[in-house]
Amino acid sequence: MQRYFIIENDINDDQTVTISNEDAHHIINVMRMQNGDEVILNFPSDESFIAMISEIQDGSVTFEMKEKIMEEKALPVSVTIAQGLPKGSKLELIVQKGTELGADKFEIIQMDRSVAKWDQKATNKKLPRYEKIIKEASEQSHRTSIPKIDGIRTLDAMLQDASIYDHILFAYEEEAKTKEFHSFYEALKHIKKADRVLLFIGPEGGFSKGEVEQLKSYGAHAVRLGKRILRTETASLYALSALSFYFEELEAQ
C-alpha cells in the first residue's frame, strides 16, 4: 500500500485530509488512483492511518480516515549522523540509505579535509534536494517519520550543541590500524534503548589531527568500524546497520 506524509496545512478536520502537492500529482497521474482506493497517511504526530480517497478534483486529493494503525518503525535509539561534507553526489546516497537504515537526523559538517565547500547560497540550493530524497526514502522504507537535515555547520558549532546527546562517537580510521583498538561493538554495549547517539563521520581523507583532538576534548570516543578502511559514504551505513542488528534483531532473540 502506498504511503504518504502529510503536513498540518493538509488537515481539514479529524476525519478528512486534502493534499494538492507533488504527492497529489503522484496519486493522480503516476499511480492513477480512483475514488475508493486506499493509502497509508503519516501525520506530523507520527500517527499512521489507512485512508480512502473520497474525492479527486482540480489536482487535489481528499481522503477520509478509515483506521488507525499501530506501527513501530524507528530505531530503538535516536541516531544523528554528523557527516563530513563529501564530494559530488555522495551525500545523496548517505541520506537516502541512512534514512532507510533508521537515522533520525543528518548534520552536514564542513571539515578540514572536505574538498567541497558550501556557502549559504549553495546550502539553500541543495537542501531542498536532500529533503526530497529523505522524504521519498522514508515513504519507500515505510517509516512513520521523516528524518531532519540541517544546513552546513562547522565542527565547533556542532560540538557546542552536543551536550544533548548521551553518546558522542567518531569513526576513526586509525582505530583500524592498531591492535589496541576501540571497537564499535564495545561502544554499543554502553548504549541503552532511547539514548541519543551522535556519530561523526569524516569526509574523504578522514579527520585532521586537530579535529581528532577537538572531538576528544568534548568527550567523543573514537571507534573502529571493522578491520577495513571504509569510504565516507559507507561508514555511516555500516554503523546504522550494526545498530539495527544489535538493538532490533540481536536483542529480540
pLDDT in tens, 84-113: 999 989 999 999 999 999 999 999 999 999
178 pLDDT tier (thresholds 50, 70, 90): low
163 pLDDT tier (thresholds 50, 70, 90): very high
Alpha carbon separation from 151 to 90, 101, 121, 130, 131 (Å, rounded): 16, 21, 11, 10, 11
180 pLDDT tier (thresholds 50, 70, 90): low
| Cβ atoms of 206 and 113 closer than 8 Å | yes
Q: Is the pLDDT confidence value at 7 over 90?
A: no
Rounded Cα distance between 25 and 59, Å, is 7
232 pLDDT tier (thresholds 50, 70, 90): very high
In words, the CATH class of domain 78-252 is alpha beta
Please state which CATH number belongs to domain 3-69.
2.40.240.20
175 pLDDT tier (thresholds 50, 70, 90): low
176 pLDDT tier (thresholds 50, 70, 90): low
pTM metric for this prediction: 0.88
Cell 499501530 identifies what position? 70
Neighbours of 80 (CB within 10 A): 23
Q: Is the pLDDT confidence value at 124 over 90?
A: no
| Cβ atoms of 147 and 106 closer than 8 Å | yes
Rounded Cα distance between 65 and 15, Å, is 5
Question: Where are the domains positioned within the chain?
Answer: 3-69, 78-252
